[in-house]
A and B are shown apart, each in its own frame.
Chain A
Amino acid sequence: DGGITQSPKYLFRKEGQNVTLSCEQNLNHDAMYWYRQDPGQGLRLIYYSQIVNDFQKGDIAEGYSVSREKKESFPLTVTSAQKNPTAFYLCASSIRSSGANVLTFGAGSRLTVL
């Protein structure tokens, strides 16, 4: 079945450590996205990528980094510069067109900083 796989589902990090969240899709989608979800704030866009080797900052990119070396993969690194990294992270993907592209989401990763 086609879909998006995020791993790990739960991750614990000590302050000062970088962590990388994995996102893999087999939908042959060109565009991929990372969102952060906090209680009472909905989803906010961190980074997005339209094609391989290209990505743009979203609304809250500070303290995060991404790479897009393969079409199927869009890992997110939460760096020690992110002041409040504890959150639920959602990866999504979509086709590229001028129409109403529907985003397909992964099951999410919960990051907790100890």
Chain B
Amino acid sequence: AQTVTQSQPEMSVQEAETVTLSCTYDTSENNYYLFWYKQPPSRQMILVIRQEAYKQQNATENRFSVNFQKAAKSFSLKISDSQLGDTAMYFCAFMKQVNGGATNKLIFGTGTLLAVQP
């Protein structure tokens, strides 16, 4: 069974600085997808970034980028120029294909609570 591990329950960063959140996963699959979701105090889950395992290039979305190391099964999230609005719980998630690719189930890590300090 696939598992996702986030070893940092809480982190803190000063506004405008850079922070990296760690995520490792375990799978025997070769084709899969990885995601980072953000859950602010409103508790609305918001997609931050996604990565296809077959792509070697790391995904980037504005201030958010990932360091995807497939052999090491590592998928860390880097937030540059941190803003107060980045304060949230961040979840790493793994997606495999089931039922011939018709449905995709997300497996989540336990989350990292990030606090951006002014």
Contact = CB atoms under 8 A, between A and B. Distances in A.
B56 interface: no
Interface residues of B, number: 27
A96 B103 CA distance: 6
B43 to A, nearest CB: 5
B44 A42 contact: no
A75 B38 CA distance: 25
Which bucket holds chain A's interface residue count? Answer: 20 to 34
A45 B106 contact: yes
A108 B43 contact: yes
Main SS of the interface on chain B?
strand
A98 B110 contact: no
B110 A102 contact: no
Contact of A102 (B9, B50, B101): B50
B95 A100 contact: yes
Interface in A22-67: 31, 33, 35, 40-45, 48, 50, 56, 58
A31 B106 CA distance: 13
Contacts, number: 59
Contacts of A58: 105
Contact of B91 (A33, A42, A45, A88): A42
Given A40-B110, A56-B103, 7 more contacts: A42-B111, A43-B108, A58-B105, A92-B45, A98-B101, A102-B50, A103-B47
30 contacts: A31-B104, A33-B105, A35-B108, A40-B110, A41-B110, A42-B109, A42-B110, A42-B111, A43-B91, A43-B108, A45-B105, A45-B106, A45-B107, A48-B103, A56-B103, A58-B105, A88-B43, A92-B45, A96-B103, A100-B35, A100-B95, A100-B104, A101-B104, A102-B35, A102-B50, A103-B47, A103-B106, A107-B42, A107-B44, A108-B44
Interface of A: 31, 33, 35, 40-45, 48, 50, 56, 58, 88, 90, 92, 94, 96-98, 100-103, 105, 107-108
